[in-house]
Chains A and B, each alone.
Chain A
Amino acid sequence: MANSSEKDSQQLRPGLWQTVNERYPGSMITKETFVLLAKLKKPLSKSHLSFVSTAGVQPKNSMPFDTVHPVGDYTFRRVPSNSKPADLVIHQLKYPTRGARRDLNVIFPIERLQELADEKFIGELSENFYSFIGYNMNPEMLEQTLAENIADAVEAEKPDAVLMSPA
């Protein structure tokens, strides 16, 4: 039985990998170590917030995410946080996008975050938000290339907190 601190360090649902492996034999992707969630050091109303999403949302004029590659896409897109939904497009094959095409905020809540910043519920938004697609077969490239590149880009804008949202 894990103690409370061990439980706190587990950020994935217990048994997740076993479930995946039952569905797709050979999916021996495992994760044994976890990064502890950091405590927020100041009130959200005074914090600089960034946003990272796997929704495949991107500016209309940017190179579409590679939704057909059998091993995935290990790139990310910067989404200016002052974008309007009309400026953005979704390139994502693996989740239903019908609702998001009617209201992007259901999957990528950019207008809600803008409103919360305007109301000073959030101190300020980072200049850019970050988006990628979650269909990635190479866990090493996902962790060591994509995640590191996003982390570097996010960190360069010095946010106090990052909202992370899977699609």
Chain B
Amino acid sequence: MSLQYLKDAARESDTEKLIRYVRLHFGDGNEAAGRKEIDKAWIEALKLLLDVPPTDREFIFETLQSKDASTLAHLFFHLHFYFVKHSGEWIHDGEL
């Protein structure tokens, strides 16, 4: 998909086109695989919190308050791949 295609979709609020691209990106061109990858990342994040371990909330709040939305969006993509890798189930051909 071209960048213009995605910008047009964003302008027209065509969320199906946008999320399809995210799935293709996370699934290396396979939309169904990408959907599973999104679920995998969230499942892994949830599992890590089930025992309520101590977490650095100061870091979280400082980061959310001090960084711009674009940087946080970029971090969001990094976190997806972080948790996918943490799950131990790596479907991608290459490495980060």
- A95 touching B74 by the CB < 8 A rule? no
A123 to B47, CA, bound (A): 58
Query: Taking chain B's interface residues, is the majority helix, strand, or loop, or is none over half, making it mixed?
Result: helix
Q: Report chain B residues within 8 Å CB of A97.
A: 93-95
Give chain B nearest CB distance to A111 CB in angstroms.
21
Give chain A's interface residue range (CB within 8 Å of chain B).
Answer: 20 to 34
Answer whether A70 and B25 are a contact pair too, CB < 8 Å, given A27-B2, A27-B5. yes
Q: Report chain B residues within 8 Å CB of A67.
A: 81, 94-96
Query: Taking chain A's interface residues, is the majority helix, strand, or loop, or is none over half, making it mixed?
Result: loop
Indicate if A26 sits at the interface (CB-CB under 8 A): yes
A137 to B96, CA, bound (A): 18
A91 touches which of B74, B92, B96 (Cβ 8 Å) = B96
* Residue of B with least CB distance to A98: B93
A136 to B41, CA, bound (A): 24
B positions within 8 Å CB-CB of A? 1-6, 17, 21-22, 24-25, 28-29, 74, 77-78, 80-81, 92-96
List the 8 closest A-B pairs by CB distance, nearest first. A26-B5, A96-B93, A93-B94, A68-B77, A92-B94, A26-B1, A137-B3, A97-B94
A positions within 8 Å CB-CB of B? 23-29, 56, 64, 67-71, 90-97, 137-139
